[in-house]
Amino acid sequence: MSLAAGLGLYNPGMTHFLHTADWQIGRQYGQFDTDDAALLAEARIDVVTRIAALAAERQVDAVLVAGDVFDTQAVSDRTIRRLFAALAGYTGPWVMIAGNHDAALADSVWSRAAQLGCIPPNVQVPLRAGVVDLAPQNLAVLAAPLTQRHTYDDVTQAFDAMESQAGRVRVGLAHGSVAGRLPDTIDATNPIAPDRAARARLDYLALGDWHGCLSIDERTWYAGTPEQDRFRGNEPGYALDVRIAAPGAAPQVERVATGRYRWSAWTETLSLPTDAQALAERLAALRADDVLRLELQGHVNVPTWEALQRAVAQAAAQARAVLADFSGLLLEPDEADLAQLGAASGYVGEVAAQLRAMQADPDQAAVAGEALRLLLRFQREGTAAGGAQ
């Protein structure tokens, strides 16, 4: 962002809009408990309400939504109505296109929205490639909605031949993968040429599909999803405030934080009690807006294992959600554990040794570890009961 942008020294004649994408309304979160999943799904509607309020507060000329408004074609009629109701806070023009999750098929979530009559008059949803001319805003939106989930053709190629009114700021609106600029693991479908903005004489190319906020070049941006929805640290949780002084001028782009929940993925390798203590302190710092996936590896003794269980349970009570995976963490009782439990020799000791050996087999590790933990607990309780007689 330029110094002028940072100081708020904007020309009032600028074309000014918000760029957002990948709302994924109706997304389900099956890996979470029911209550957590419901709140995470509701957050996707809530962030749209915040975007509408942001657009009104900043008095933008338009809001452009670059596809995947809905997560599936099969969302309920109620969800469709709720989405369009969430736009009410901004009464200026909205232009939104279909992405790969909500492609503009002959029978689609968009055709249902039209049948329900719930699309407000200030919301334009072009279902085929073309120019949406917003004359009062001096803005020509070159839209390329996806009409099928996957295509191997660059739908933005049509922009090159699209004409707009002289003097209009030209902004492309598309959904797909910029060739050669995203990780190799990203789908190769719905390709977009990396130099499309230059080829089509665009002042700005507003993209969706990649869920992180990302600049391809000064005129080509992914807004990312405005509310984080997966464990990937690619800078989600933003909308883009874009100002363009005149056709041909470089856009001034400001990232505006919109997300509520913070998704984190921790992989921790433990071998000493101090490792577990440090992890417990980090877990204690989690708050109500945290969503954590925790994978544990290494080996710990019985007291450390139990302390970790307590720390994770407490974190789950204070965070939005904690998904903890203990399968990579081996329970290895030390000599003190075995001596205390009376399992250093005899039949119980032999079983404990066998279970410890079984943990080396990935297919048996989880079951063996749980069996070992139960064995040690029962033996300890039996020892305590015997001593109390």
Specify the residue for token string 């590896």.
297
Please, is 111 exposed, middle or buried when counting C-beta atoms within 10 Å of its C-beta (0-12, 13-18, 19+)?
middle
pLDDT interval class at 380 (50, 70, 90): low
The number of domains in the chain is 2
Please give the average per-residue pLDDT across 31-56, as a whole number. 97
Domain membership flag for residue 41: yes
Query: CB of 365 within 8 A of CB of 330?
Result: yes
pLDDT interval class at 229 (50, 70, 90): very high
Other CB atoms within 10 Å distance of the CB of residue 55: 25
21 bridge partner residues: none
Do 297 and 362 share a structural domain? yes
Do 168 and 63 share a structural domain? yes
Domain membership flag for residue 319: yes
For position 353, what pLDDT does the model report? Answer: 76
Q: What is the pLDDT of residues 70-84, one digit of tens each?
A: 999 999 999 999 999
Q: What is the pLDDT of residues 314-349, one digit of tens each?
A: 999 999 999 999 989 987 777 776 665 555 556 777
For position 222, what pLDDT does the model report? Answer: 97
Do 282 and 213 share a structural domain? no
For position 75, what pLDDT does the model report? Answer: 98
pLDDT interval class at 4 (50, 70, 90): very low
d(CA 50, CA 61): 17
Residue 42 predicted with pLDDT over 80: yes
Domain membership flag for residue 337: yes
pTM across the whole model: 0.86
Q: Cβ contacts of residue 54 below 8 Å, gap of 6+?
A: 18, 239, 256, 258
Tally of CA atoms within 13 A in the half-sphere of 181 that contains its CB:
21
Query: CB of 125 within 8 A of CB of 173?
Result: no
Residue 386 predicted with pLDDT over 60: no
For position 107, what pLDDT does the model report? Answer: 95
Domain membership flag for residue 166: yes
Domain membership flag for residue 389: no
Do 282 and 228 share a structural domain? no
pLDDT interval class at 6 (50, 70, 90): very low
For position 160, what pLDDT does the model report? Answer: 98
pLDDT interval class at 373 (50, 70, 90): confident
Average pLDDT taken over every residue of the chain:
90
| CATH code: domain of residue 57 | 3.60.21.10
d(CA 34, CA 125): 33
Domain membership flag for residue 289: yes
Among 257, 291, 323, the domain-final residue is 257
Residue 218 predicted with pLDDT over 50: yes
Do 316 and 237 share a structural domain? no
Residue 34 predicted with pLDDT over 90: yes
User: Maximum Cα–Cα distance for the chain, whole Å?
Assistant: 96
Residue 387 predicted with pLDDT over 90: no
For position 339, what pLDDT does the model report? Answer: 65
Among 257, 291, 306, the domain-final residue is 257
Do 229 and 145 share a structural domain? yes
Q: Which residue has the higher pLDDT, 375 or 7?
A: 375
Q: What is the pLDDT of residues 236-263, one digit of tens each?
A: 999 999 999 999 999 999 999 999 999 9
For position 148, what pLDDT does the model report? Answer: 94
Residue 307 phi, psi dihedral angles, 5° rounding: -65, -40
For position 379, what pLDDT does the model report? Answer: 66
d(CA 159, CA 156): 5
Please give the average per-residue pLDDT across 367-381, as a whole number. 73
For the chain, count helices (H), then strands (E).
10, 17
Domain membership flag for residue 95: yes
For position 3, what pLDDT does the model report? Answer: 33
Domain membership flag for residue 387: no
Q: What is the pLDDT of residues 127-163, one digit of tens each?
A: 999 999 999 999 999 999 999 999 989 999 999 999 9
Do 209 and 72 share a structural domain? yes
Do 99 and 61 share a structural domain? yes
Do 269 and 225 share a structural domain? no
Do 235 and 279 share a structural domain? no
Q: What is the pLDDT of residues 99-136, one digit of tens each?
A: 999 999 999 999 999 999 999 999 999 999 999 999 99
Q: Which residue has the higher pLDDT, 234 or 101?
A: 101
Among 235, 257, 279, the domain-final residue is 257
Do 286 and 344 share a structural domain? yes
Q: What is the pLDDT of residues 178-195, one digit of tens each?
A: 988 886 556 568 999 999
For position 186, what pLDDT does the model report? Answer: 60
Q: What is the pLDDT of residues 277-320, one digit of tens each?
A: 999 999 999 999 999 999 999 989 888 988 999 999 999 999 99
Q: Which domain holds residue 155?
A: 15-257
Do 297 and 198 share a structural domain? no
d(CA 100, CA 127): 13
For position 352, what pLDDT does the model report? Answer: 73
